[in-house]
Every structure is written in C-alpha cells, then in structure tokens.
C-alpha cells in the first residue's frame, strides 16, 4: 500500500489543468467519495496493526500534497483569467465612430497651405499680450477706441496687459527680431469684448499676413490676394478693393469677392450686390516699420488680415457663429468628408 501511495504522490506533482473543467475533473479524481484518497482510507482497514502508523502518516502526506496542488492550479487559473494583455475590455462592442476635424481647423489649414505655397512661413505669439505689441507698435493712438474697456479684455490689476484683439501683435514681434525680407502669416485666436450672438462672438480666429522687402507695391498685394481668393473659392472668383482705414496700413482697403453662391449675379446671401467682403489689407504704415526697428526709407511692406470664421461661413454657409464653439456633434458630423 505504501508503494501505491508513493506512486500517487509522484503523480500528483505532475498534475496540470488548462481550465476550470479540467481542474474539477482532478478534484473529483482524488478528493470525491469515489476518489483515490477515499479508496485508500477504505483499504486502510486491512493494513496490519504494526504498519497503520506509517501508512496513516503517508496517507495524510498524500492528502496534503493533493490539496496543495489543487490550490496551486486554482490560483494559476485565476491569474490566467485576469491576464487580458492585448484586449481592451473597456472598448465598446459597438462600431467606433470616426471623428472629424473642426470646420475652423479645416479652413485654417487650407488658408495656411495656400499662403505656404506662395512663400509665406508661419509665425505664432502669445494670446495674453502687452499694450505695446497689440496697440502701440501698430500705430494706435493713445485715445483710440480699441483701447477702451468696452472693446478689449484687460487683465485685472494690469492695465498694460490685454487679451490680444488681433494677431498683428505677432507681426510686431517678428519685425522686432527678424531682418527683411519678411514674409509670414500669423494664425491664432483673438478676443473682443462683444456680446455673443449669431453674428458676433467674444473670441474668434484670424489669419494675418505680412510681407516686407525693398520695392514692395500695392500691385504685389493685389496679385497675392487674387491668387488666394481663386485657390480658396474657385478659379472664376473675382475680387475688388474698396478704400478703407486701419491704423497700421496706409493706404488701406477692404477686399470683396464675387459671391460664391450666385456667381456675382446677386442673391440673398450677398444682399443682391454680387459681392461679399472677406478681409482687410493695405501697405504697412511707415510709422509701424519705424516703431518696430525697420527703416521705412529702405523697406516697404503690405499686410492683410481675415477672420477664419468669416471664410468658413462663406465656404460652408454657416449662418450662426455660435455653432463653431458649441461642439454639437450633429453639426460637426456635417464636415466628415471635408478634410
């Protein structure tokens, strides 16, 4: 009987279980009423008295070995079940929806791409700026309305620090640190102290451009803007320039494009004029060049600026500016194929 116990003991050390079903089969094989241990206990009655002590000790040793082995296999199965490497159990069983870029991002990237192909590099600057870079360096008079609280967000307790009202502040920083020729575009978010409505918002996005070199003319500006308009809105797009006023350019103009809805024939979108205004532009005022350390007697330049929301409105006919910042998925889904 001792030999039988020893054989079973050796067998137990090699037991394996790949799943709960196999483990349960092993338990029944050794620990059930008809199992090997119970059979040994039944045979124990027939063991001679002088061997009962040794045989009993061997049976208890086998019983402990079986129990320890079953516990070991049980723990191994538990660890195996918890190992989910390569499987994301938090992932939804439903199809994952593919997102899309925001319409303002789509249009901004398109604007940047067009001007990049025209030789413009990109420049960026801080949204929280000092008065000099936002107003002083751009030839704004000390009493200009833009400096009033009703137009500009000022940082509390710091009257000389504001949220930039235009990305012209980036142009100023570029002129301070770079030598002409300078050819940059400055995309970014700007802030105005305005009531939020379908046609206005307290923050929006601009892309401004600056070119400074010797012998720069208004004709150069017009050709660049015509190329941009036709790249953005179609090869048949026409432009017109109307005299205007900006503190940092002289002469200044506002540019219209032929309505991309009716082709210039006149419709409700263009108020039956056939034209839609898209940007402001002009030749850089000599005062701006001098204020930023560039000799206005040697160099000239032009600048332009456009609102990304405005261009997006024209391109996709979005009538309510608030839709751009509300993150309504139904609205964003409309631009799924636009990028």
Neighbours of 223 (CB within 10 A): 12
Model confidence at 214, in pLDDT bands (50, 70, 90)? Answer: very high
- CATH number of 103-335, picked from 3.40.50.2000, 3.40.50.620, 3.10.20.30, 3.30.930.10: 3.30.930.10
Ramachandran angles phi, psi of 30, nearest 5°? -110, -30
Residue 329 tokens, joined: 């998925």
Question: CA nearest 120: which of 209, 223, 215?
Answer: 209
Neighbours of 115 (CB within 10 A): 22
Across the chain, the runs of DSSP E, i.e. the strands, are 121-122, 128-130, 154-155, 158-163, 182-191, 203-213, 239-246, 249-258, 275-284, 300-307
CA atoms within 13 A on the CB side of 133: 22
Q: What is the pLDDT of residues 62-117, one digit of tens each?
A: 788 888 888 888 888 777 666 556 667 677 777 767 778 889 999 999 999 999 99
| Torsion of the alpha carbons at 227, 230, 233 and 239, rounded to the nearest 10 | 90
d(CA 175, CA 327): 37
* Annotated domain spans of the chain: 2-82, 103-335
pLDDT at 282: 96
Q: What is the pTM of this model?
A: 0.68
d(CA 95, CA 149): 50
Residues 6+ apart with CB under 8 A from 43: 1
| Torsion of the alpha carbons at 153, 156, 160 and 161, rounded to the nearest 10 | -60
Question: CA nearest 205: which of 111, 130, 289?
Answer: 111
Place of tokens 């067009």: 114
d(CA 185, CA 193): 25
Q: What is the pLDDT of residues 123-152, one digit of tens each?
A: 999 999 998 999 989 988 776 666 565 578
Collapse the DSSP code of 319 into the 3-class scheme (helix H, G, I; strand E, B; otherwise coil) and give the result.
coil
Place of tokens 């017109």: 240
Burial-class residue 230 by CB neighbours within 10 Å (0-12, 13-18, 19+): middle
Query: Once rounded to an integer, what is the mean pLDDT over residues 216-234?
Result: 96
CB 279 within 8 A of CB 225: yes
Residues 6+ apart with CB under 8 A from 147: 131, 135, 140
Q: What is the pLDDT of residues 29-51, one digit of tens each?
A: 878 888 887 787 777 777 777 77
């Amino acid at each position: 009987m001792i030999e039988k116990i020893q054989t079973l003991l050796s067998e137990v050390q090699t037991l394996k279980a790949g799943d709960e079903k196999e483990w349960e089969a092993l338990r029944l094989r050794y620990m059930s009423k008809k199992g090997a241990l119970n059979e040994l206990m039944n045979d124990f009655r027939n063991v001679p008295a002088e061997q009962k002590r040794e045989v009993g000790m061997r049976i208890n040793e086998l019983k402990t070995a079986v129990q320890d082995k079953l516990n070991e296999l049980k723990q191994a199965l538990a660890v195996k079940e918890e190992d989910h490497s390569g499987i994301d159990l938090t992932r939804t069983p439903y199809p994952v929806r593919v997102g899309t870029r925001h319409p303002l991002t789509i249009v901004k990237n398109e604007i940047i791409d067009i001007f990049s192909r025209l030789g413009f590099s990109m420049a960026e600057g801080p949204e929280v700026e000092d008065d000099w870079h936002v107003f002083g360096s751009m030839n704004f008079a000390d009493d200009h309305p833009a400096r009033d609280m009703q137009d500009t967000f000022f940082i509390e307790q710091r009257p000389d620090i504001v949220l930039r009202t235009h990305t012209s502040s980036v142009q100023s920083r570029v002129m301070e640190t770079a030598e002409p020729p300078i050819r940059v575009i400055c995309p970014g978010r700007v802030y105005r102290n305005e009531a939020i409505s379908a046609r206005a918002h307290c923050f929006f996005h601009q892309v401004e451009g600056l070119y400074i070199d010797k012998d720069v003319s208004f004709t150069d500006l017009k050709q660049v803007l015509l190329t941009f308009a036709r790249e953005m809105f179609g090869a048949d797009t026409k432009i017109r320039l109307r005299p205007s006023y900006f503190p940092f350019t002289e002469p200044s103009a506002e540019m219209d494009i032929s309505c991309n809805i009716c082709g210039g024939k006149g419709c409700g979108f263009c108020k039956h004029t056939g034209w839609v205004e898209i940007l402001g532009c002009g030749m850089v005022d000599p005062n701006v060049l001098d204020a930023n350390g560039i000799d206005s007697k040697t160099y000239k330049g032009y600048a332009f600026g456009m609102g990304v929301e405005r261009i997006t409105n024209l391109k996709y006919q979005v009538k309510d500016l608030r839709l751009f910042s509300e993150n309504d998925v139904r609205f964003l889904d409309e631009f799924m194929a636009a990028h």
